[in-house]
Amino acid sequence: MCDREGPGGASSPALAVSGAPLLEPLGLLHGRAAAEAVAAGQAAWLAGGPVAFCLMRKDGAVLPVGSLPATWQPILARITRRPPPWAGLPAHRPVVMGIVNVTPDSFSDGGRHAATDVAIDAGRAMAAAGADIVDVGGESTRPGSQPTPVAEEQARILPVIRALAAAGIAVSADTRNAVTMAAALDAGARIINDVSALAHDQAAAALVAQRGCPVVLMHMRGTPATMQSQTDYADIALDVTRELAARLEAAIAAGIAPEAIALDPGIGFAKAPGQNEALLARLPVLLNLGCRIVAGVSRKGFIGRVSGEADAMRRLPGSLAAGLQALAGGASVLRVHDVAETVQAVRVWHAIVTES
């Protein structure tokens, strides 16, 4: 729940981020029940649907969404509106982003795609399997990792990006370095995906603004080497929302168009055991910021802790479960290692929740 009451004693409306209160969507619904609750004014569509949400009072009674005062309507509108078109990708269904780590040391697949030709083949296979985006990275940001020299990062990823972009594949460059961002965009990348939310490199925000490209801002504290020592949160969902709001405001102040920005809660980054699950359970809070949500849960450590599976390569079932939970909570992009399996799961999930 949020940390102070909103209208009518509701526990859902609550928090101030940059002076604006937030609503916490609860009681998620889909299918006929969602459509009927929305028609009755009891619920509203989360990020344009197909999942709807309610608001609740502290006593557990439903607070009809239609009863919110006019002053709260702009806040409600941010949560209910369908995210604007982003990176030329489909807006009517979830988007799958395949991961190609051109590194020797990434947490689950380090070394598998270290060779350029292998990475290119992997990206092509992901696109053929249904990936809408292929995310190419040349620096491991696993907990405890050290920075990769920029020249080495570029040597790893630029040939891969060129080949995939030449094949007509939408490519995202996973980097926190401005010079690599520029080189990747020149090589044909469409999207920048920055684990530091443009905070690592002071030139990054201006570069993205000047190029006018879509960008993913991910939540992280500190650096990959230090982040796991910075997991003290008063309320994980609200604190992550506050901190991403600050990065969003900085990006907009730098000249980046709001509709070009997607937000990633940073599952596994500066998050202690239990916090990842809690953040996923309350993911709809992030929709208060009015941006598309990207969720990267694939093979993450929390799945191993919950399931007892130590081998990251054997965490597909848990990854699918966490990814579908993220979609139900308002995410519209899933960043995954196992593309074919995820595409199938997402298609089935989407067919079920849109049935009425």
| Residues annotated as catalytic (active site), given as ranges | 300, 335
The H-assigned helical ranges of the chain are 31-39, 73-80, 116-128, 150-166, 178-187, 204-211, 236-253, 275-281, 301-307, 316-328, 339-353
Helix 316-328 to helix 339-353 angle (10° resolution) is 40
In sequence order, the 6+-apart residues with CB closer than 8 A to the CB of 213 are 185, 189, 190, 191, 192, 260
Q: What is the DSSP letter of 221?
A: S
| Helix, strand, or coil (residue 55) | strand
Measure the CA–CA gap between 6 and 238, rounded to whole angstroms. Answer: 15
Strand partners, 217: 194, 263
Measure the CA–CA gap between 242 and 286, rounded to whole angstroms. Answer: 9
Question: Smallest Cα–Cα separation from 173: which of 165, 185, 186?
Answer: 185
